[in-house]
Amino acid sequence: MDENSAQIGFLLTVITGVILLLVLLLVNLMLTSRNRKLRHQAEMQQVQSRLREQVTAIRMEVAEATLSDVSRDLHDEVGQLLTFSILQLENLQGSSENEKTNMMVEVKQSIRDALDAIRSISKGLSPDIVNQQGLVVSLEQLFERATIRTGKHFRLEVAQGFNIINTSNSIIVFRIIRECITNAIRHGMASEIITDLKQEEKNAKISIYDNGKGIATDMVPDGFGFKTMQHYAQLMHGELKFESQGGEGTRIILTFPN
């Protein structure tokens, strides 16, 4: 009887020890899981914070570049129109009645054109213009101003139903397209630039083609803002591809989840 009691006591001790061990293991797993979850949340908060900072920086770049364009447009377009009007008004004295009539018509038209230009330019003064107007309208205005300044041909093709869901991505796409057309004109000597926006399954696909002289592929990683554009694409978990051959233009393709 005493022997049986001892065996039972030993078994109870073993079972109790095993249960305690399992409880300790379970508590340890729970604490480990909780710590991992907390670390993951902290890391995600850091990533989101960095992303917000980068998107804010991109917004500022877009705003600064837009204001720079506005400044040039005011100087080159509105300034010239008003200067012409002033010169015409100064020439009124000593002119015949017929000449005065014709000159006044020209002055009135120049002032109307200047007012129209100011109205158009004023639309680009908002620092968050892409979010307010949408990507397509912002690109149309960008291309319109670029056409006036450069005399180049810009074409925007937008597939039916195309829409970027994330507004931050719209700002990044605008910045990448802007960089592409700047490079195409400044470095590629292009006379025509075609931008195509469409949706392919769950991805947005942006294609920017120019008919310039092309760029050697071994030069791409070190210049022409390509690293910056790649960084922007990574912020959207996207991919940026570069296609170019000497004398056959350049095509840059951006794809990202949408």
Write down the pTM of the prediction: 0.57
**Inter-residue contact 148 to 77 (CB < 8 Å):** yes
Looking at every residue in the chain, the average pLDDT score rounds to: 78
d(C-alpha 63, C-alpha 32), whole Å: 46
Range of the domain at 192: 128-258
pLDDT, greater one: 180 or 59 = 180
Residue with tokens 């802007």: 178
Say what the pLDDT of residue 220 is.
Answer: 54
Q: How far apart are CA 35 and CA 117, in angstroms?
A: 60
Q: Residue 115 — pLDDT band, cuts 50, 70, 90?
A: confident
> What sections of 76-162 are H helices per DSSP?
79-90, 97-122, 129-133, 135-150
Q: Please state the domain count of the chain.
A: 1
| Alpha-carbon span 241 to 254, nearest angstrom | 7
The verdict on residue 22 lying in a domain is no
Amino acid 254: pLDDT: 93
Taken in order 209, 214, 220, 223, is the CA torsion positive or negative? negative
pLDDT at residue 92 tops 80 = no
Nearest to 122 by CA among 188, 71, 88: 71
Taking a C-beta distance cutoff of 8 angstroms, is the pair 188, 250 a contact? yes
With respect to residue 235, please indicate whether it lies within any of the assigned structural domains. yes
Phi-psi map region of 195: left, alpha, beta (phi>0 left; psi -120 to 50 alpha)? beta
Under a CB-based contact definition with an 8 Å cutoff, are residues 128 and 102 in contact? no
Confidence of residue 221 (pLDDT cuts 50, 70, 90): very low
Name the band, by pLDDT with cuts 50, 70 and 90, for residue 108: confident
Could you tell me which residues are beta bridge partners of residue 37?
none
Domain assignment present for residue 84? The answer is no
Look at residue 75 and tell me if it is in a domain.
no
Q: What is the mean pLDDT of the segment spanning 40-46?
A: 80
User: Residue 23 domain-assigned?
Assistant: no
pLDDT interval class at 137 (50, 70, 90) = confident
Instruction: Tell me: pLDDT of 96 over 80.
Output: no
Q: Which residue has the higher pLDDT, 60 or 186?
A: 186
The pLDDT confidence band at residue 255, using thresholds 50, 70 and 90, is: very high
**pLDDT at 125 > cutoff 60:** no
Determine, yes or no, domain membership for 139: yes
Q: What is the pLDDT of residue 158?
A: 92
Residue 251 within any structural domain of the chain: yes
The pLDDT score that the predictor gives to residue 198 is 93
Question: Kind and range of the H or E element at 72?
Answer: helix 2-73
168 domain-assigned: yes
pLDDT digits (tens, 9 = 90+) for 11-29: 777 788 788 888 888 888 8
pLDDT digits (tens, 9 = 90+) for 191-212: 899 999 999 888 999 999 998 8
What CATH number should be reported for the domain holding residue 236? 3.30.565.10
